Amino acid sequence: MPIALTLNAGSSSLKFGVFEISDAPKEIAAGLVERIGGQPRIKADFGDLDGKIQRDLSAEEARDHKSALDTVLDLLRERITNLHAEAVGHRVVHGGPRYSEPMVVTPGVLGELRALSPFAPLHQPHNISGIEAALEAFPQALQVACFDTAFHRHQPKVNDEFALPREYYEKGVRRYGFHGLSYEYVSGELKSFAPLLCEGRVVIAHLGNGASMCGMLNGRSVVSTMGFTALDGLPMGTRTGQIDPGVIFYMVQQEGKTIDEVRDLFYKESGLLGISGLSNDMRTLEAAGTPEAKEAIDYFVFRCRRELGGLAAALGGLDALVFCGGIGENSRYIRSRICDGLDWIGIELDRERNEANERRINGTFSRTHVLVVPTNEEIVIARAAKKLLASA
């Protein structure tokens, strides 16, 4: 049977999926290698094939993304007879101003993606490493790049530019927006079960270790909380979110920090982890009950509410708020905190539905729909790989 492999390479992780693509893509295996280069661990679910696997890996099995992929492939070949991928789909964080749809990876495309590494220094190099490792492992397979920025490439220019000299816009210094694969999936689901609602003014809140919000009209992105990099907007697990650029000047000029030190602080030591001094995991913070953990949660909720108000203003109102991502899909408490007191924007939460984690969690008389839709970036990648394979 024709198989597509999907790879989603993060800074220290590698998510993977295996899809049968003779018809609509059907997932037959999925998993994750985490803490690559540290104390690595693999989790995998083979469904009816061989159940679930979870074990620690040796340092050699996942010292980098290439060795992690080798370990994944060894596991897949053990469990799936005659594994042969006809296509490999890759999540690529940054597609720059040019790439607004999935592309077959050619040497030229790969070169352009490398050139975009300064736009996403902590993500793009790992995405490229995943592509290079897959090219070596499956030299005959069609390699497909799917871009997190692509979903936002048709935003109005006023939502796409910064107040900088015009030359910088031409150089690619723009508001790109990210989490596009997640937004594409959720908007597609919304169009399937609520097509009229999808045509309206919708905000999707992708809340997880990485977090952002996207405002849509008629299923298309018109405004996003993330900007030039995946650092902007909402506070995240270890990332600052929105911050005055003057803080950078202060740290460099007054504290003597290097740009690399500031970058690492903003990306790896801030957000929920930085404020709480405890963890980047919302579940840990909710259970901790310490003043610092409460402060981190309060700040996260405040920023979500503030950004939601701004997005609603940009859309001219709000017809639906949709939660997705690890926090959005699972934290009843955070959803409740975000929606509390938002009757001015038409939101009335049904506490029982929210606690039951139902799809629709708004009250009967709420003017604005509030939904929970689990996201699935891997199926979006698999669909793109199948489509480009068919046209190759």
Q: What is the pLDDT of residue 212?
A: 97
124-137 and 65-79 helices, crossing angle to 10°: 50
Q: What is the pLDDT of residue 38?
A: 84
Q: What is the pLDDT of residue 50?
A: 64
148 is catalytic: yes
Q: Say if residue 9's pLDDT is above 90.
A: no
Q: What is the pLDDT of residue 365?
A: 95
Two tokens at 286?
Answer: 């909710």
Distances (CA, A) of 186 to 214, 219, 275, 346, 377: 11, 10, 30, 22, 9
Strands 52-56 and 41-45 turn out to be antiparallel
CB-based contact 142:87 (threshold 8 Å): yes
Other C-beta atoms within 10 Å of 270: how many?
Answer: 21
Q: Say if residue 347's pLDDT is above 80.
A: yes
Two tokens at 192?
Answer: 């399937």
CB-based contact 338:221 (threshold 8 Å): no
CB-based contact 151:181 (threshold 8 Å): yes
Catalytic residue among 48, 50, 70, 148: 148
CB-based contact 142:88 (threshold 8 Å): yes
Q: What is the pLDDT of residue 261?
A: 97
Spatial CB neighbours of 358, under 8 Å, sequence gap ≥ 6: 372
Q: What is the pLDDT of residue 159?
A: 94
Q: Say if residue 380's pLDDT is above 90.
A: yes
Q: What is the pLDDT of residue 130?
A: 86
CB-based contact 179:124 (threshold 8 Å): no
Span 33-59, mean pLDDT?
A: 87
DSSP string, 304-326: HHHHHHHHHHHHTS-SEEEEEHH
**Cα separation, 181 vs 48, whole angstroms:** 27
> Which among 325, 391, 330 has a CA at the least distance from the CA of 357?
330
Give me the CATH topology for the region 195-372. Answer: Nucleotidyltransferase; domain 5 (3.30.420)
Q: Say if residue 11's pLDDT is above 90.
A: no
Span 13-33, mean pLDDT?
A: 93
Helices (H), 26-152: 65-79, 107-115, 124-137
Task: Check residue 33 and report its DSSP letter.
Answer: E
The residue type at 23:
D
Q: What is the pLDDT of residue 133?
A: 85
Q: Say if residue 302's pLDDT is above 80.
A: yes
Q: What is the pLDDT of residue 34?
A: 87
pTM: 0.93
Q: Do domains 3-147 and 195-372 have the same CATH topology?
A: yes
Span 280-296, mean pLDDT?
A: 96
| Chain segment 137-166, per-residue pLDDT in tens | 899 999 999 999 999 999 999 999 999 999
Task: Tell me the Cα Rg of the chain.
Answer: 21
Res. 298 pLDDT band, cuts 50 70 90:
very high
**Where do the structural domains in the chain lie, given as residue ranges?**
3-147, 195-372
Task: Check residue 362 and report its DSSP letter.
Answer: B
Q: What is the pLDDT of residue 49?
A: 59
Q: What is the pLDDT of residue 6?
A: 97
Give domain 3-147's CATH number out of 3.40.720.10, 3.40.630.40, 3.50.50.60, 3.30.420.40: 3.30.420.40
Q: Say if residue 250's pLDDT is above 70.
A: yes
Task: Find the length of the chain.
Answer: 392
